[in-house]
Amino acid sequence: MSAELKGFLLVAVLKILVVFTAINVGVMMVIWLERRASAWMQDRLGPNRVGPEGVLQSVADGLKNILKEETFPVVGADRLLFFLAPAMSFVPALLTFSVVPFAAPLPGFDVTLPLLGRFTYTGPISMVVADLPIGFLFIMAISSLGVYGIVLAGWSSGNKYALLGGIRSSAQMVSYEIALGLSLVAVLLVAGNVTLSDVVAMQQRSVWFVFALTVGFVLFVVAAFAETNRLPFDLPEAEAELITGYHTEYSSMKFSMFFIAEYSAMMTMSALMATLFFGGWDIPFTPWDEQGPPSVGRTLATLGVFFVKMNVFVFTYIWIRWTVPRFRFDQLMQLGWKIMIPVALAYIVVVATTVYTLEALGWEVGPTYGLVLFGVNAVLLGALLFGLDHERLILGARQRARMAA
């Protein structure tokens, strides 16, 4: 085996181990953070006994679930699908993260290890598990598989409450998956590439897409909440109506797998928000992170910036869950089909027209290019909010002010 092949395999294995281990450890920390944050919001103590400030509570809960007795529904259940469903729900969330760039490249290496021989990696090492040229399409393809685990969990249990939760989930996730994909078409129109590394590079040359594509960002955030079954869109797990939903018959570690999958998907969606709309690992207000040869210091600095951006959205997920009440199911579907999808389609037309006009005028991608898109999005966002208001807040406040006067 050549030194170059050995170096490539070493880098690939290390990326997989580091990234996926970080996700699993991160899930435990996010669960602890949500329990502590919700306790703070509701003036409670939260977990505070196992470890400093209760930081090991998730480890204790995981150990408890591993040791608990497993139950299996005997009547009307499909044993094979019942066992496969938790894994089918968990794996897509992990695979989606594999195409997300999380730091600036590292420099290559040429080392000789005892007993193992020489390892060589020529050129910069991209900080992404799989830098696919179809990264965006890979995300849409793999994330769409998560619904199968939930639907099969409800169907294979032989429980009508679980089946109803699975049906609800399929309707919800398929509906908002359309809006999610349409909201990202605008990103492709502006970036001109489906590789996430190039999307980050485009934002470094112009402006972050949260400014250039504000309406697309809003649509993506709403659809991402629905795709991850988080409040106010957790209708598949509505305990007041469905006991616990699609995982009613599950126990022990299989029950925990669905929650691990939910939090993994939440972290992945947060990473995508940071990558697609907030410049990814780009450090704002300085070109230092994109100039010069790769270095370890630059990689660590950009990794820290990406970590902060991602966790801002993780906290937003937690904040929304403990603040906004749950939608009714008819409201959920009405929002997805009557508002999100038509708005996303109209938005694609407007962005495509704007990009075509700017290119026809000979404008090159840069800060001015991004500011023009920001102006268009500001007008569109104002019109959208005014149209959705239905005279309840804006005009209603004016009427109350006139009456008071």
Taking only the tens place, the pLDDT of each residue in 289-310 is 888 788 899 999 999 999 999 9
Q: Which long-range contacts (CB under 8 A, 24 or more apart) does 50-55 make?
A: 55/29
Q: Of the ranges 227-236, 345-354, 383-392, which one carries the lowest mean pLDDT score?
A: 383-392
Task: Enumerate residues 6+ apart whose C-beta is below 8 A from 195.
Answer: 131, 132, 133, 134, 135, 136
User: pLDDT class for 133, splitting at 50, 70, 90?
Assistant: confident
Burial class (CB in 10 A: 0-12, 13-18, 19+), 84: middle
Q: What is the chain's length?
A: 405
- Please report whether residue 234 resides in a domain: yes
User: pLDDT class for 402, splitting at 50, 70, 90?
Assistant: low
Taking only the tens place, the pLDDT of each residue in 350-382 is 999 999 998 888 888 888 888 899 999 999 988
- Please report whether residue 166 resides in a domain: yes
- Please report whether residue 115 resides in a domain: no
Overall domain count for the chain? 1
Q: Exposure string (b/e) for 339-367, b if CB count within 10 Å is 16 or more?
A: bbbebbeebbeebeebbeebeeeeeebee
Q: Exposure string (b/e) for 50-72, b if CB count within 10 Å is 16 or more?
A: eeeebbbbbeebbeebeeeeeee
Q: Exposure string (b/e) for 305-333, b if CB count within 10 Å is 16 or more?
A: bbbebbbebbeebbeebeeeebbeeeebb
Distance, in Å, from the CA atom of 73 to the CA atom of 329, rounded to the nearest integer, reads: 28
Tokens encoding 125: 């090492």
Q: Helix, strand, or coil here: 117? A: strand
Residue 381 sits in which domain range? Answer: 66-104+128-283+291-404
Tokens encoding 39: 């306790």
Q: Helix, strand, or coil here: 105? A: strand
- Please report whether residue 60 resides in a domain: no
- Please report whether residue 388 resides in a domain: yes
**pLDDT reported for residue 214:** 93
Q: Taking the CB of residue 392, how many other CB atoms lie within 10 A of it?
A: 9
Main-chain phi, psi angles of 131, to 5 degrees: -80, 75
- Please report whether residue 259 resides in a domain: yes
- Please report whether residue 320 resides in a domain: yes
Tokens encoding 210: 């949260």
Q: Which residue has the higher pLDDT, 245 or 299?
A: 299
Distance, in Å, from the CA atom of 289 to the CA atom of 255, rounded to the nearest integer, reads: 43
Taking only the tens place, the pLDDT of each residue in 246-287 is 888 888 888 888 888 889 889 999 999 999 999 999 998 888
Short-list 346, 218, 208, 339, CA closest to 280:
208
Query: DSSP per residue over 245-309, as a string?
Result: STTTT--HHHHHHHHHHHHHHHHHHHHHHHHHHS-TTPPTT-SGGGSSS--HHHHHHHHHHHHHH
- Please report whether residue 171 resides in a domain: yes
Q: Of the ranges 89-98, 117-126, 390-399, which one carries the lowest mean pLDDT score?
A: 390-399
Task: Enumerate residues 6+ apart whose C-beta is below 8 A from 24.
Answer: 260
Task: Write the Ramachandran bin of 76: left for phi over 0, alpha for psi from -120 to 50, otherwise beta.
Answer: left
